[in-house]
Structure 1
């Protein structure tokens, strides 16, 4: 997280997060990389769907989304809005 998105004067888990690529070791995470998902409130789940792709279920601004990410090429393949969870 980079910003106090809820403007409560603190950086906490309730602020929005940015999802951006890095090496497996965590190295090479820099501001030079494009943030794949810049305004994530919460990651609800993640599953590897292919050797180079993952599916993330996440919330942003009280809406649910599923996003397919190509981890090798470090790009979003698609994002779809989901119905509200009960």
Structure 2
């Protein structure tokens, strides 16, 4: 299946070797938000709410609980 490049405006991993650094809180927030919505997409339909996806860090930021034991707040970095 060929993926249309129009759908790839918000991807984190680029196909070219010149990656764009996530050097601002705003850029990182945008990428995280996009990742949190992925499990809700119709092709996967894994959960109804981003907080319900076990492997997401969304709960860490919403409820301030680190179930994995290694998460750190990115907001402190910028």
Q: TM-score, normalised by structure 2?
A: 0.25
Larger Rg over CA atoms: 2
Q: Give 1 or 2: higher strand fraction.
A: 1
Give 1 or 2: higher helix fraction.
2
